[in-house]
Amino acid sequence: MLSKLPIDKFRTLRTPFYYYDANLLRQTLHTINDEAGKYPGYHVHYAVKANANLKVLRVINDAGLGIDCVSGGEIEQVLKAGFPADKIVFAGVGKSDWEIELGIDSGIFCFNVESIPELQIINQIAVQKGKKANVCFRINPNVGAHTHANITTGLAENKFGIAMDDMEGVISLAKQMSGIEFKGLHFHIGSQILEMDDFIALANRINELQDRLEARGIFCEIINVGGGLGIDYNNPEANPVPNFRDYFATYHNHLQLRPGQSVHFELGRSVVGQCGMLITKVNFVKQATYKQFAIVDAGMTDLIRPALYDAHHKAVNLTSKGEKETYDLVGPICESSDVFDKDIQLSAVSRGDLIALLSAGAYGEIMASGYNCRRLPEGYISDEL
């Protein structure tokens, strides 16, 4: 993977920039289609909030995945990339009226609804337009996930979803609304989840909820289990493709489906995480009292995950074969949290070296900001270089 990088080409591009390995992305998508394809009625949507680069989106669209959006801007972006509207699901706790209108006008597949006030507005807008909106309810399953506190979403204390106790009430309300077509249930418990037990806990909870609904004669056509499968940030070269086999098999083995039900997945990080890297140039090597700093031209504005989630991206010096030395790898932003990693081993660094921060395909480029009036990083895909 690293040995095949077009380093000479990299030297001609303005740093920092994102680089996406299209072949690894295609291989990942192929594995997803193979593994999900073993089970009838399994549909995979790509959660576009992980990476909305058009070049990346077009490769994903070629593989036939559906889409999970969390904003009107994302709907616009995926339509531009060529995704069919009828494969879009639309989640989010705070949808604005224009976003709901856009969803209805473009004919998206389903709204994942997170509250009664939201349901009422979707109904009102749909009725005004003489249309019916398909709706799944996002239920907060009160299931924890073994991941960073800022990326758990399925606990009762989180802002997401409708409480389990309110489920039957909301569904019967929806069934009385002329602008709403009730389709099923939606869940999403968090991100960067590597323990299959967490997904088993969700499947068990869904089984309980389905039993409750069945006792009331309520049928769900769709069970949407969300996303959350993690990637190996520590050893990306050894594990470039996440374990989709175990992931889909876990749901197959634990989720009890009723005849005619389809299962929808919303995978973000696991689709694009490993295919991307951030390439940055070393501006200075600074010897300080206790530390040796490699100061690069990328900062938290380009890749915020280390500052935001204590995330770790493996760093590699692409242009030096020197002896390993210990560095703090830091950016130029005026914030003490603008540190990619501390006390890491890199081949001896000198000014002008190119450093790759690996596993940066998800929640990297899309989260870049212009803080400090910085330019947004460019994103290149291997097919074009």
Which residues bind to ligand PLP, rule: CB under 6 A?
Answer: 47, 49-50, 68, 70, 91, 188, 191, 226-229, 266-270
Of all residues in the shown chain, the one whose CB is closest to ligand PLP is: 268
Q: Do you find a cis peptide bond into 16, omega within 30 degrees of 0? A: yes
> What is the closest distance, in whole angstroms, from the C-beta atom of residue 370 to ligand PLP in the complex?
23
Q: Choose between 251 and 327: whose C-beta lies nearer to ligand PLP.
A: 251
> What is the closest distance, in whole angstroms, from the C-beta atom of residue 273 to ligand PLP in the complex?
8
Distances (CA, A) of 301 to 131, 157, 251, 331, 334: 42, 30, 37, 9, 11
Q: How far apart are CA 118 and CA 2, in angstroms?
A: 47
Q: Choose between 187 and 380: whose C-beta lies nearer to ligand PLP.
A: 187
- Cite the DSSP H helix spans in 131-280: 167-175, 196-215, 244-254, 269-272
- Using DSSP bridges, classify how beta strands 133-140 and 180-186 pair: parallel, antiparallel or unpaired: parallel
- Cite the DSSP H helix spans in 269-339: 269-272, 305-309
> What is the closest distance, in whole angstroms, from the C-beta atom of residue 264 to ligand PLP in the complex?
10
Q: Choose between 68 and 338: whose C-beta lies nearer to ligand PLP.
A: 68
Q: What are residue 341's DSSP bridge partners?
A: 329
DSSP reduced 3-state for 310: coil
> What is the closest distance, in whole angstroms, from the C-beta atom of residue 323 to ligand PLP in the complex?
38
> What is the closest distance, in whole angstroms, from the C-beta atom of residue 191 to ligand PLP in the complex?
3
C-alpha gyration radius of the chain: 22
Residue 47 CB burial class (10 angstroms; 0-12, 13-18, ≥19): buried
Q: Choose between 71 and 280: whose C-beta lies nearer to ligand PLP.
A: 71
> What is the closest distance, in whole angstroms, from the C-beta atom of residue 271 to ligand PLP in the complex?
8
Q: Choose between 126 and 189: whose C-beta lies nearer to ligand PLP.
A: 189
Q: Choose between 267 and 294: whose C-beta lies nearer to ligand PLP.
A: 267
Q: Choose between 226 and 377: whose C-beta lies nearer to ligand PLP.
A: 226
Distances (CA, A) of 205 to 105, 187, 190, 265, 315: 34, 10, 15, 16, 39
Q: How far apart are CA 255 and CA 206, in angstroms?
A: 7
Among 17, 9, 21, smallest CA distance to 281 is for 17
For the beta carbon of residue 256, count every other beta carbon within 10 angstroms.
13
Q: Choose between 189 and 296: whose C-beta lies nearer to ligand PLP.
A: 189
